[in-house]
Structure 1
Amino acid sequence: MSGWGATGLTVERGGHTSLADVSVTVEPGEIVAVVGGDGAGKTTLLRTLAGAIRPAAGEVSAPPLERIGFMPTAAGVWRDLSVDENIAFVAAAHGLAGAELEERRAALLRGAGLEGATTRLARNLSGGMRQKLAFSLAMLHRPDLLILDEPSTGVDPVSRVDLWRMVSLAASQGAAVVMATTYLDEAERAHRVLVLNGGSVLLDGTPAEVLDGVPGHVVEADAPGDPARTWRRGRRYRVWSPEDPPTGAARVSDIEDAVVAAAIAKGA
């Protein structure tokens, strides 16, 4: 297996199978988006890749721990420390100092828009600023593998754009990025998408391959149809059909429809 990731990963926790035969690969310079509902196994997969969970079966390929950057959900900063103190603490852990540290610190603060907030305690930052600080801390040592657990969940729209820009920059500089996200527009901008459902892989591939890999097809409707195959988007409805689409027609319009339709097809 080239790049980093996992093959045939199975994780059992408390008598429950959290992941079942899950494989994922991310190359340097790529972004893999991991999507799925609550309990799908996203965080378990990311923590296993980071070495925090030992799998029951399968193989994990990852760089040494010191070459991994990890940003957990709604955490990743020390709230009682200032922005500068957070950076100094993480820098010391990685042995960064002098001109090298100053160059990285300045670049990350500039990218995060935190240059004017370096003396503020992390707990006094807005949610978006705190998440951007957490990302900066995960990137400070320029890891080979960057693991992000829903970095933009719950932040304001402007900060979400900033975070995606920072993630894209990290990939362009050579990091292999695996990120869980609840925002499917972010998944559409990733190099590859892994859709989990109940600990199993539902869809996997480039965004285009995911759209084409959905069983059956989805159509728009003005009124709801079979409740087991219908969901609402905006003022209209989507209805999944197990039949292949008519010649020349798309199976689904976007990743959101693909995820919902694939889940319905699995249940059917």
Structure 2
Amino acid sequence: MLGGLEGKARAERAELIEWLLDHGVTVEEIRGSFTPMLLASRRLIGDDGSYVSAREISETTGVDLELLQRIQRAIGLARVDDPDAVVHMRADGVAAAHAQRFLEVGLDPDHLVQVVRVLAEGLSHAAEVMRYTALAAILEPGLTELDIAKRSYELVSRIAPLLGPWIEDMLFMHLRHQMETEAVNASERAAGAPLPERATWPWLSPIWSASPASVRWCHPRSWCSSPNGWPTSPETWRSRRCDSSRRSATR
């Protein structure tokens, strides 16, 4: 764990290791990590250091193994052909297994996989921006590894409980607007029109604004008016559609 380190760097790492061990992080986890400073923070968001196989997740949750593997790929997890390979973080397995509950209420498996893929693509960009935002709040010149670990742990411990309600409220907001603007006509009701093919979903392509760290997603039924693409008032949601030329220029 201290291999290749000398002088001040070695002393800092030794100090960090002692703190991590006091916070329940194992020697094996420290030895196998490229960023040991964030190990304790990762514990706060579900990484308990345990791994499971796809088959174990399937048997524990009741999700069909083949469907589970499709969902794992849709989420963005690495493809693993061997269902018995113990390579999936337990928390990641739990996230994929949530699909079973949606199947039980009657959702189509193929449509569910598409929903998972869209959520994963959007949330991956959100997580990236959140990471940079958190690091900007933590990092200062001259901090030791232990200083960074402590600051990260304190910040994540305060933010993590807020993320679920925040994301849920934002998702429900978008669902409300969809229900407000979505019109299902008589022919669609009669045909029971299925979800369109993924290739025809224009909102799957991210739109990058002038700032590389800022990501906007434009839904075909959304309306935008402000320079950064966000609606400025409820009226603008109804009065202006996204400018297609601006979308192409900022792609």
Higher helix share: 2
TM normalised by structure 2 equals 0.25
The structure whose Rg is larger is: 2
Q: Using CA pairs below 8 Å that are at least 6 residues apart, which structure has the higher relative contact order?
A: 1
